[in-house]
Structure 1
Amino acid sequence: MPSRRRTLLKVIILGDSGVGKTSLMNQYVNKKFSNQYKATIGADFLTKEVQIEDRLFTLQIWDTAGQERFQSLGVAFYRGADCCVLVYDVNVLKSFDNLNNWREEFLIQASPSDPENFPFVVIGNKVDVDGGNSRVVSEKKARAWCTSKGNIPYFETSAKEGLNVEDAFICIAKNALKTGEEEEIYLPDTIDVGTTSQPRSTGCC
């Protein structure tokens, strides 16, 4: 397939299986949500044109499977990432506890030139579930973790209702732009749809 010259910002979404990574991506790119959960196999991506400071960029959002057998997807998958999004389910403590593992996995595999300052964004998803009564990870606790990791921007979202999804991805794109460069890329035809979620937000760039 011929390569196309364009300004590409590569974003990778990591997190446990079922936290709503695919739903967040589909809500942002396609404004669609599906209640039917379908586990992502390996990795998939969607693209969306975004305008930042009067320039047009292609945001290439890579969605990964949260299952352990797919965690080590190889250096090629992580290479060239401009921003990494860490997603957890505010109703599942384990998914929050695993954020550090996902962050470390990314830094090891991607080997960014400046790991201390590489842009991450954290999303606490599914805040809509059970009217918030099922929540086990407080916003305060999540923000404290983000602060301890270098003041990572934090958003609370609902992929199902679209809450804060747009705001989160605008912040993600702006952070990606800090490391992004024009690259010659290949755009294979692949898309996937999947999980459930919901939100509220705070803080960015």
Structure 2
Amino acid sequence: TTVGVKIDKKAIEIQDKKINLILWDIYGEDEFQELQMSYLRGSAGYLLVVDGTRYNTLQKAFELQIKIEDAIGQVPFILVINKLDITDEWEIELAEIDDVTQKGWTVIKTSAKHGIGVEEAFQTLAKKILDC
């Protein structure tokens, strides 16, 4: 859980172009949500990160996506479902992931612990941003 904002920089290369992403980790407890929505102004895209072992984080992502769209309009985003290394503990079913994909959302499964899918998430988001 983040209180306030944590800012990082990520440099990636796409089609021989160097892209610098500025990452703002802004999610925290619900009491901070209204204030943090103002941090989203000017965003070119975002990642909604969900914990595969906690179903409620998927529901929070759905709610957050609506709030973000209300705040900044439609910009590219990726739903990232983390903890791929322990899928046997997931509370999120494959059918639910298929439903989200059917709605047109891009879903990437990751393991931050092992680095699986993380680079793919950034690359995919950057491509979506460049295609806008």
- TM, length-normalised to structure 2: 0.88
Larger Rg: 1
Query: Offset of 1:162 from its aligned partner?
Result: 0.7
Partners in 2 of 1:70 and 1:177 — Cα distance?
31
Matched, 1:84 2:46: yes
Letter in 2 for 1:163: I
Pick from 55, 59, 75: which aligns with 1:93? Answer: 55
More helix by share: 2
Partners in 2 of 1:99 and 1:146 — Cα distance?
14
- Which residue of 1 is the match for residue 92 of structure 2? 137
Counterparts of 1:38-187 in structure 2 under 5 Å? 39-74=1-36, 76-110=38-72, 112=73, 115=74, 118-129=75-86, 132-148=87-103, 151-179=104-132
Letter in 2 for 1:106: I
Q: Which segments of 5 or more consecutive residues in structure 1 lack a partner in the other structure?
A: 1-38, 180-205
Letter in 2 for 1:139: L
- Which residue of 2 is the match for residue 24 of structure 1? none
SS of structure 2 residue aligned to 1:159? coil
Query: Offset of 1:76 from its aligned partner?
Result: 4.0
Residue identity (%): 26
Letter in 2 for 1:174: K
The 8 Å contact of residues 7 and 22 in structure 2, kept in 1 or not, is answered as yes
Partners in 1 of 2:36 and 2:2 — Cα distance?
17
Counterparts of 1:11-30 in structure 2 under 5 Å? none
Partners in 2 of 1:71 and 1:41 — Cα distance?
10
Alpha-carbon RMSD across the aligned residues, in angstroms, is 1.7
